[in-house]
Structure 1
């Protein structure tokens, strides 16, 4: 049974170590086609590096946040790995596949401020988040900005599902715990976020 924190369903160790290692290899193939890049927001450069797989990739620059059909370096985004799609279908129970699998890489000092996933057309579809590598301190807030928050350390292999009332809660990663996992040879944390865009 998943943990439930403010409506967010947390599945501890949903992926065992062999499954994590296999997924990392699939993500290396994604990055070979669509290399990691450092997006900018109106407030400056983000501390995470990212890429995407699927029909769309998430992108940000001085014009704001949006989905793009091509990588900023040119070319289509690669397909979402089959294991990620299988996990999505298993946990969501949906036939509909996600349009985007955002791949965020967190180095030792990277973080992600509290935000909502609001760039999609229909908020009734869930958001699935997969953690790989070093632990990340996941903060969960409210649908409106401000107020009390709760935090939980997400470990490698954990999966979070934002669905129903939790779909629009503010959430973010305060920090990672360097050296807490041996999954990634150079350390750090990878987070996958799957969303239906259209």
Structure 2
């Protein structure tokens, strides 16, 4: 494992080996079946290029009503529990007793991206956000705590983990593009990004 520190983002390259990555995919299958990924829209009505779902007591949703956490999937069912293998990552990299109440799961297909944004729908920004990359490579862009200014980019590979805490917690970040087909982890290609959050 190699550790990079970029503008306060703690990037653990190669944190998960191939066996651990495959195990996470297996434990995610029942989650994705119980809470099918959906394509959200922004408050302005624009459809996002990623598909998403969640696990945990709360899930993050976006629609014309705005951005928020809620206890049910848009189809009405409760979110499934966060698998222990995923919680183990949080426990190991944060050392915190408090556990996340949301694991947001984003799927990036060919051509998907995520514009620069802040994670600021949580109640308390003192808790970190932990991001896990699975599947295709993604170009991760890191900005500043305000919009504009110079940015830096890092390629995230399958098995990389990023901890966003402290000054980096409200730093703008996003995914410019993925290298579709660069990984064989997902049978149909693409990238899964898991972000563990304390929402309440």
Question: Which TM-score band applies after superposition, normalised by the shorter structure?
Answer: over 0.9
Deviation at 1:63, TM superposition (A): 1.4
SS of equivalent residue, structure 2 residue 29: helix
Q: Unaligned regions of 5+ residues in structure 1, if any?
A: none
Correspondences of 1:140-151 after superposition (within 5 Å): 140-151=142-153
Q: Unaligned regions of 5+ residues in structure 2, if any?
A: none
Deviation at 1:195, TM superposition (A): 0.4
Does residue 168 of structure 1 match 2:170? yes
Query: 1:37 — aligned with what?
Result: 38
Aligned-residue RMSD, C-alpha: 0.7
Query: 1:14 — aligned with what?
Result: 15
Query: 1:193 — aligned with what?
Result: 195
Q: Deviations over 1:72-125 (max 9, x none)?
A: 111110000101111101000101000100000000100000000000000000
TM-score, with length taken from structure 2: 0.98
Query: 2:62 — aligned with what?
Result: 60
Distance 1:150 1:50 in 2: 26
Distance 2:22 2:171 in 1: 30
Distance 1:32 1:179 in 2: 23
Distance 1:112 1:89 in 2: 27
Distance 2:131 2:144 in 1: 18
Report how many residues are paired.
Answer: 198
Which residue of 118, 123, 137 corresponds with 1:121?
123
Deviation at 1:42, TM superposition (A): 2.7
TM-score, with length taken from structure 1: 0.99
Correspondences of 1:68-147 after superposition (within 5 Å): 68-147=70-149
Distance 1:49 1:150 in 2: 25
Distance 2:5 2:166 in 1: 12
